[in-house]
Amino acid sequence: MTQETIIIGLAGILAASAPIVFAVLGETLSERAGVINLSMNGTILLSAMGGFAVAYTTNNIVLGFLTGMLIGALVALIVAFASITLNQSQVAVGFVLALTCRDLSYFLGNPYMGLPGPRLQALPIPFLSDIPIIGALFFRQDAITYISFIAIILVWVWVYRTRPGLMLQGIGEKPAAAYIRGANVNLMRYVYTIIGGALIGLAGPAFSLASRAGWMGTISGLDGFGWIALSITIFGGWNPARAAFGAYLFGFLQWLGLVLQPVLTQVPSQVLQVAPFPLMILTLLLVNIGNAEWVDRTLAAMPERTRKFFAKLLRAMRASPPASLGVPFERD
Amino acid sequence: MNVELKNINKHFGKVHANKDITLNIPSGTIQGILGENGAGKSTLMKILSGFIQADSGSQIILDGKSVVMNSPADAIQYGIGMLHQDPLDFPPMKILDNFLLGIPGSFFPNRKEATQDFNLLAKEYGFSLDPENYVDSLTVGERQQLEIMRLLFLGVRVFILDEPTTGISAAQKEKLFTTLKKFPEQAMTVIFVSHKLEDVESLCDRVAVLRAGQLVGTLNPPYQTKKIVEMMFGKEITLGERKPANVGEPVLSFDNISLEDARLRIKNINLEVREHEVIGLAGMEGSGQDLFMRACAGLVRPVGGKIQLKGQDLSGKSYHAFKQVGVNFLPAARLEEGLIPGLSLTDHFILAEQPRGIFIDRIAGQRLAEERIQSFNIRGTPLSPIESLSGGNQQRAELALLQNPLSLILLEHPTRGLDIESVIYIWSKLKERCHHGTSIIFISSDLEEILQYSDRVLVFFSGKVSQPLDANKTSVEELGQLIGGKGWAEIGDTHA
């Protein structure tokens, strides 16, 4: 492989991963507030179909993206209403929605199957795109990929560097403690679930109007991405930057499966296609290895300085979910 | 700030939790609120801190102005802050983030400035907390200090403390009291809620006693303990006489046992516990006593040595093997590790009795529950969900669930958070067991409890274990010193 192919490949990973990035960011926000939006897989499909249909009918690509966000926000609203106001199980409601939205997308999307629709074009940024390597990697992408970069930064800054973000962390961790600090817990949970849902909804058109343009119904190949995005959210330890990194890692593993096929001819291609999934699980296990008791014991036996170094490293890697994830908040 | 509570009433459904309580707390005083579990203290404090709202007609008057508080945030606006019994903070987050959270200010908080503010405040009150550290590495006492700092920074003038001395060390308690005693000088008011008489007596300028939702009276120093107890319970209560145990056959023996976990290593423990005997384990939280107890229960595998129970070698065996020999362990976290929230008392008794067959005999279960409720004096019905019972009644239920006979009962903080009446009751039930040959090992942070109820005491200090001390010949002061790591040369640890 030449250097050029590698760079084009990596740039392709960044673009192809944009939808997953939106999905994991949305789910991270929602779960940080304490609400699991399990509908993600269905939401992505429905918003991919809806976004495509609207963009095709109106011939307005921006409207397509907005439709996707609206669909995501509406599905999230159902999750929020059922879990926060009606006090129902988030898992049950989310799961049913995941299935319903998927089937709904196939059913409603029938008239749009295989139609040639609008597609986002690459939008090289003047000057920046001429920087060697970096220009090709980051600045010759399409608009939605740029937005995905910005979204990672924005969400990260929001969660870790702003006052409302601090409160968001508190709401998911211990709502009662956030409440005595002045938070309107349930309102905030609604807001973040809906914003998170809108981001998840952006993932759909990011597929159907950009990286995998068009609507192909059951053979669109989009089914399953939502579930992966859910596990990447966990892998990311509910940290937007880490979750985005997980999305890219998954994209990289998939790409590796593709480019290795002609090289590793003795390995069945199915193995290479499936490999990213167990590899993701393996990474997840490695990242959370600090939770295991034997690691604690091994650490205890190490000399002081080494122990401190590893303890710090493991602490930084370890991801613990917001303690009140999925737990309803009631004012006493 | 002057706080006036006027005709406070609160109903929860049919329960009248606060009955027409009127209390005036002058500015600059430390007001104690005493009462047994369920007397209505918490309800009253939740009303004053805005957590819940009193029935209409009730009035809260601050410095002469009647106020309405709809949330804890409202209360903070009026200058009332509460330190909750279980610290309401965020363990996985940094101390600085905990401090910042909820403090109004710019959209992007200035962390550098906040760190300076934090360190300044910490210095003023003599707390040593590193703002970059994580809250889950702090002790309960330090988490209280963090909360106090946060409330001070928010400009709170009335501090409500709900059972603040539960679960903190003696040194931290002293520190807390010194801090609180400074507050009246700055015209701040402290409301100290507790069921621990000695704490209230040593700290408070005046005391109000609640019983069954009513204010039964107020007292000024010098306090007469007997009188307070009578007011709290409506009757006289006396501690049981100490009786030396007639020790019998060995039940548990530790032969050169070494234990370790991520933080601690304890080497070469030798101990023999005999029938009828009660062993108290003293030490600051996390000094190794919890590890020791879990080794007795078979939950932690020793890295060396031999454990024998009733003559059987159980080294390296599982919890179930220990249980079969008659060891039962009641952990401190009742609802997390001991009982099953969501199940009723009847369900618990059915589960504990391990009935044969697959179908449940509900009628027999109900009968059993009724019987035990009666004999253990539990306030609840056979169908009450376990989490609806008060702490004292949950603990009684746990005792009622113990099988009979048992060779060894292991208890972690058996009476933490309970009022005296419950404490006495629970120990009378435990002593009854001892009388029939059971041995008991228990952990407590209450030194008086340890000396009152144990025959021998083991002191733990950062992985060191003392020789068994005769409880009759040891004083609270001596124990306190040992716990703090002083005076070990004279008594020698188990290495000797």
How do strand B408-412 and strand B250-260 relate by DSSP bridges? unpaired
Does B387 map to a domain? no
Question: Which two structure tokens, joined as six digits, stand for A285?
Answer: 């296990």
Domain edge (last residue) among B233, B268, B290: B233
Does B286 map to a domain? yes
Does B385 map to a domain? no
Name the nearest CA neighbour of A211 among A121, A272, A134: A121
Distance from the Cα of B291 to chain A's closest Cα (Å) equals 14
Same domain, B107 and B224: yes
pLDDT by position in tens, chain B (length 496)? 899 999 999 988 878 889 999 999 999 999 999 987 778 888 899 999 998 899 988 999 999 999 999 999 999 999 999 998 888 999 989 999 999 998 988 999 999 999 999 999 999 988 999 999 989 888 888 999 999 999 999 999 999 999 888 777 778 888 999 999 999 998 899 999 987 788 888 899 999 999 888 999 898 888 888 888 888 877 766 666 666 666 788 888 888 888 887 677 888 888 889 888 999 998 877 788 888 999 998 888 888 888 888 888 888 888 888 888 889 888 887 777 788 888 888 888 888 876 677 777 888 888 888 888 888 888 888 888 888 887 778 888 888 888 778 899 999 988 887 878 888 888 888 888 888 889 999 998 888 888 889 999 999 887 788 888 888 888 888 888 888 777 777 776 654 3
Same domain, B93 and B157: yes
Domain edge (last residue) among B176, B204, B233: B233
Q: Do residues B432 and B454 touch, judged by C-beta distance below 8 A? A: no
Name the nearest CA neighbour of A140 among A152, A125, A121, A119: A125
Name the residue of chain A whose CA is nearest to B75's CA.
A180
Query: pTM here?
Result: 0.79
- Residues of chain B with Cβ-Cβ distance to A162 below 8 Å are 107-109
Phi, psi of B494 (to 5 degrees): -70, -10
Q: Can you tell me whether residue A135 is helix, strand or coil?
A: helix
Same domain, B141 and B281: no
Question: Which two structure tokens, joined as six digits, stand for B448?
Answer: 């008086």
- How far apart, in Å, are the Cα atoms of A244 and each of A110, A239, A319, B140? 32, 9, 15, 36
- Residues of chain A with Cβ-Cβ distance to B51 below 8 Å are 180, 331-332
Residues in contact with B330: Cβ distance below 8 Å, sequence separation at least 6, in sequence order: B338, B398, B399, B402, B409, B410, B411, B412, B414
Q: Using H for helix, E for strand and C for coil, what is the string for B349-418? A: HHHHHCCCCCCCCHHHHHHHHHHHHHHCCCCCCCCCEHHHCCHHHHHHHHHHHCCCCCCEEEEECCCCCC
Same domain, B111 and B221: yes
Q: Can you tell me whether residue A86 is helix, strand or coil?
A: coil
Cα gap B223→B207, rounded to integer Å: 9
Q: Given CB atoms, is A182 within the 8 Å cutoff of chain B?
A: yes
Same domain, B127 and B258: no
- Residues of chain B with Cβ-Cβ distance to A181 below 8 Å are 72-73, 101-102
Domain edge (last residue) among B167, B201, B233: B233
Query: Does B100 sit within 8 Å of A163, measured CB to CB?
Result: yes
Same domain, B139 and B272: no
Q: Identify the CATH number of the domain in which residue B125 sits.
A: 3.40.50.300
Containing H/E element for A57? helix A40-58
Q: Is the dihedral of CA A28, A29, A35, A39 positive or negative?
A: negative
Question: Which two structure tokens, joined as six digits, stand for B239?
Answer: 């501690």
Question: Which two structure tokens, joined as six digits, stand for A206?
Answer: 């990011």
Does B409 map to a domain? yes
Same domain, B162 and B260: no
Same domain, B224 and B279: no
Does B140 map to a domain? yes
Same domain, B266 and B160: no
Same domain, B59 and B161: yes
Counted domains in chain B: 2
The parent domain of residue B261 ranges over 250-326+403-491
Identify the bridge partners of residue B94 per DSSP, sorted by sequence position.
Answer: B134
Sheet of B250-260: strands edge to edge? B265-274, B250-260, B304-309, B312-313
Q: Given CB atoms, is A177 within the 8 Å cutoff of chain B?
A: yes
Cα gap A121→A98, rounded to integer Å: 30
Q: Can you tell me whether residue B34 is helix, strand or coil?
A: strand
Does B313 map to a domain? yes
- pLDDT tens string A8-53: 889 999 999 999 999 999 999 999 999 999 999 999 999 999 999 9
Q: Do residues A193 and A30 touch, judged by C-beta distance below 8 A? A: yes
Closest by Cβ to A181, choosing from B46, B102, B262: B102
Q: Do residues B44 and B33 touch, judged by C-beta distance below 8 A? A: yes
Query: Does B261 sit within 8 Å of A174, measured CB to CB?
Result: no
Query: Does A183 sit within 8 Å of B52, measured CB to CB?
Result: no
Same domain, B214 and B282: no
Q: Do residues A71 and A46 touch, judged by C-beta distance below 8 A? A: yes
DSSP letters of A171-206? Answer: HHH-HHHHHHTT--HHHHHHHHHHHHHHHHHHHHHH
Q: Given CB atoms, is A175 within the 8 Å cutoff of chain B?
A: no
- pLDDT tens string B241-268: 666 666 788 888 888 888 887 677 888 8
Q: Do residues A172 and A33 touch, judged by C-beta distance below 8 A? A: yes
Does B479 map to a domain? yes
Q: How many helices (H) and strands (E) does chain A have?
A: 15, 0
Same domain, B254 and B229: no
